[in-house]
Each structure stands twice: as C-alpha cells, then as structure tokens.
Amino acid sequence: MLTVAKITAKGQTTIPQHVRAALHVAAGDLISWEVDTDGTAKVRRVLPMDIEYLRAVEGTLSEWSSAADEDAYRDL
C-alpha cells in the first residue's frame, strides 16, 4: 500500500497507522533507517537488545576507524 506523508519544517513526519502496525512499533519505540545508494530507504524496529549489543560492539571497533583503514578498505 502506497502512502504519502508530508515532512515538517523540523524534519518530522507521522508514521501512518498501518505502517506502525506492520512494524509493531508504538510511542517510545526505536526505529532505524538504512539508506541505499539508489536513494531508497528501509526502516525497521530496533529491539532494546539490538541497542545494547551495538553499544557493546561499538567500543571494540575503534581500532579500525582510522583514516588509513578508510583508505585501505574503501573499495571493498
């Protein structure tokens, strides 16, 4: 089902009810956005465990976030 929503001056929009129902989200829940190179976007519900896991993993990845790493792995 195609639904069009307007974006406010503050960059906000309302998620239509049928989309919220399909994603099983409600007020206070978290969602994530993934934008593809072709300009399409995917949105999904983020479970609390996902956030805890990502925060835990984030601290272990800092050793691979240098400019040299970016140059070395950019084209992979």
Q: Looking at the domain assignment, is residue 3 inside a domain?
A: no
Q: Looking at the domain assignment, is residue 42 inside a domain?
A: yes
Q: Looking at the domain assignment, is residue 49 inside a domain?
A: yes
The beta strands (E) that lie in 26-65 are given as 30-35, 41-46
Q: Give residue 17's pLDDT band: very low, low, confident or very high (50, 70, 90).
A: very high
State residue 61's pLDDT score.
75
Q: Looking at the domain assignment, is residue 11 inside a domain?
A: no
Q: Looking at the domain assignment, is residue 32 inside a domain?
A: yes
Q: Structural domain of residue 47, as residue ranges?
A: 17-73
State residue 33's pLDDT score.
92
Q: Looking at the domain assignment, is residue 7 inside a domain?
A: no
CA distances from 2 to 8, 16, 18, 35, 63 (A): 20, 11, 11, 19, 43
pLDDT tens for 23-46 read: 999 999 999 999 999 999 999 998
The tokens for 76 are 């992979």
**How many domains does the chain divide into?**
1
